[in-house]
Structure 1
């Protein structure tokens, strides 16, 4: 069994849903800042901007999350050659115009961002170093941000996110030596929510200041849905979104509350897993693997359903398009440490993955095996929708230009 201290960034990312669920159960979710805090004039501007955005249907930018972590084994470690092929596929096969480059390691982040810029993609660059001292996290952000600024000055379309859900990844906001202790403390109700919010606010302000000091383009942050964030610090409101409602109206109503600051709204993550019932888990779909078994096993008797995953993503895209979001990034392109094992539902770890592609090993159960990805139904569904939005953009551009 993999020890907590040996877990990869991919594992830490999966634990964020558990963290948020624990926080909600402990009564730690808090209300967002009122728009009126910035004054009546800004409140009026916020309302006007929100109405204007909803009057313009369509997604302004369409993307996918691409994680650049170290990988759980040497076989799944970051590969520059593989990354370059993936970036081309994101542009040419998925028809995305944006790639959310996230993870840790400045070299991995910058190499991927540079490749995306070379391919003409818009870049949402989000360093997410965690479980190290605060200053190390801020230094990692600064170095990544300086590179982003260099790309921006060269003409690339770049937006910088200062991080993702700091209350989980940054030590000291929630007591605990690592993410697992922090989650446990939250679930046991031993955390002072007022003190936690104060520490979160302080670090968020520091991160925003660092981002501003090195990067002069649009700045954002990826928050959980119930996070309290002073969005006056940022240019774009960023939300990791995993709600599931039976009707479109409920989605629209929920998304509308994030428009009160009068700023563009980006959904920095959305998605679900490929089994029946996964969307109803509200972000906990990954929590179906028994890591105590060797090899790891899927718990329960899940029914694989790529159609379920694809339907949920397209349902959300319908909603996002109708309310005129600034951007939406599907989570995620590939999860190499969760291989698909056809005909073996007990060990088909891809069912617990949010990836829109399935990882297939040349030699199943061999951690040293090479692998490749294949598109799931969700990939094809996104590609169709993104291509449609692409054609709409082109048509609007031609109409705006007028006759030659």
Structure 2
């Protein structure tokens, strides 16, 4: 998901665990009273996974050829419903007009909308106003009968200036990886901003309120109705996934895996959230580092394995990351410049003229797309309006 020019969402998936910054776990809080808790159990293995979806990122695009297109977005939303057979779309990114147009299209098509504004690298007041504007639109959709949840944002410690030292996202990443961050001070600043964002969300939206945390973030989930986790772990044994994810159910609230995925090369799942880190961007054009073996099957197998885990835990929803990444194009027959190797998308971007920034492009499904479509379709999620819980 693109947050700022020149750097992609996939470059932020490592989380605090990769930087050794996990803080002490917050104490458990009693579950909210039944009359205050939104409908839907936190966990019900008899029902399996309640909702199945995909992340759809809106943004400016890095080149003229990959700029946001309303016509392309509408075609993509139809494909998410009719071809992927998802019942939920995570509409995320920045730009209120792009977010609201995409959310409205998804709702009109009968999809459940997880609406998540993610403006970053601007002053806090701008981020909160961006959230408020998006939240007001989400509330209008909800009152019109759409199934919509509002997430106040994603991994604030990385995107909101001042929580982690650094003038921009690049500097904050370097500081995290270099271990030059005071975890306790960072946690205090994160808690303060998260509470502010939750308050803004509550002030404009009356439906389920959520937040998408990195899987090792420490969040006071009493602020939210839904526990949202960006999940990129790798374990050789299924029981380890179950053990790790089960701890998120202790709040007695619905648990949503807001992102899960991997890249398309052998060994990518073992890199966790660092699968993107295979591109040498100093070179022109950028090159893939090392001699990686492209494997769409690897990506498909990992996603379906995690779906099995989510089903067994009876989680509320899971969204695969992500539908398409236009700025990481696939170059068939040119593995050194096949930037799609670094993409988490379940479709591949193929440009008409690979070296032309203004070139048009089209997407083609990867094996993961087909694997998810079979699973989502067999679960009966496609073509069904998802009102209510």
CA contact (8 A) 1:127 1:163 kept: yes
Structure 1 counterpart of 2:367, from 377, 393, 397: 377
Counterpart of 1:330 in structure 2 is 320
CA contact (8 A) 1:31 1:226 kept: no
Counterpart of 1:309 in structure 2 is 299
Structure 2 counterpart of 1:38, from 13, 30, 42: 30
CA apart distance, 1:321 = 0.8
Counterpart of 2:167 in structure 1 is 177
User: Secondary structure at the residue paired with 1:283?
Assistant: helix
Structure 1 counterpart of 2:78, from 85, 88, 96: 88
For residues 29-178 of structure 1, what are the structure 2 equivalents within 5 Å?
Answer: 29-35=22-28, 37-38=29-30, 53-178=43-168
User: Secondary structure at the residue paired with 2:7?
Assistant: helix
Counterpart of 1:283 in structure 2 is 273
CA apart distance, 1:343 = 0.8
Counterpart of 2:195 in structure 1 is 205
- 1:228 equivalent to 2:221? Answer no
Gap runs ≥5 in structure 2: 385-389
Closer/same/farther in 2, CA of residues 9 and 111 from structure 1, 3 Å limit: farther
CA apart distance, 1:390 = 1.1
CA contact (8 A) 1:101 1:124 kept: yes
TM-score when normalising by structure 2: 0.93
**C-alpha separation in 1, matches of 2:32 and 2:133:** 38
CA contact (8 A) 1:29 1:227 kept: yes
What per-residue deviation string (whole Å, max 9, x for no partner) do you get for residues 274-327 of structure 1? 000000001111100000111111000000000000000000011111111100
Which stretch of structure 1 is more off in the superposition, 85-94 or 240-249? Answer: 240-249
Closer/same/farther in 2, CA of residues 392 and 321 from structure 1, 3 Å limit: farther
CA contact (8 A) 1:56 1:323 kept: no
CA apart distance, 1:189 = 2.8
CA contact (8 A) 1:7 1:72 kept: no
What per-residue deviation string (whole Å, max 9, x for no partner) do you get for residues 39-66 of structure 1? 8999xx9xxx66xx24324210100000
CA apart distance, 1:10 = 7.5
User: Secondary structure at the residue paired with 2:273?
Assistant: coil
Give 1 or 2 for the bigger CA radius of gyration: 1
Greater helix fraction, Structure 1 or Structure 2 = 1
What per-residue deviation string (whole Å, max 9, x for no partner) do you get for residues 344-386 of structure 1? 1001000110000000011122111100000000000000000
Which structure exhibits the higher relative contact order, with contacts defined as CA atoms closer than 8 Å and separated by 6 or more residues?
A: 2
CA RMSD between the two structures: 2.1
**C-alpha separation in 2, matches of 1:112 and 1:39:** 34
TM-score when normalising by structure 1: 0.90
Structure 2 counterpart of 1:244, from 234, 246, 249: 234
User: Secondary structure at the residue paired with 1:390?
Assistant: coil
**C-alpha separation in 2, matches of 1:60 and 1:279:** 25
How many residues align structurally? 378
**C-alpha separation in 2, matches of 1:369 and 1:12:** 20
Which stretch of structure 1 is more off in the superposition, 177-186 or 62-71? Answer: 177-186
Gap runs ≥5 in structure 1: 1-5, 395-404
Closer/same/farther in 2, CA of residues 383 and 10 from structure 1, 3 Å limit: farther
**C-alpha separation in 1, matches of 2:250 and 2:257:** 15
User: Secondary structure at the residue paired with 2:251?
Assistant: coil
CA apart distance, 1:20 = 3.2
- 1:260 equivalent to 2:250? Answer yes
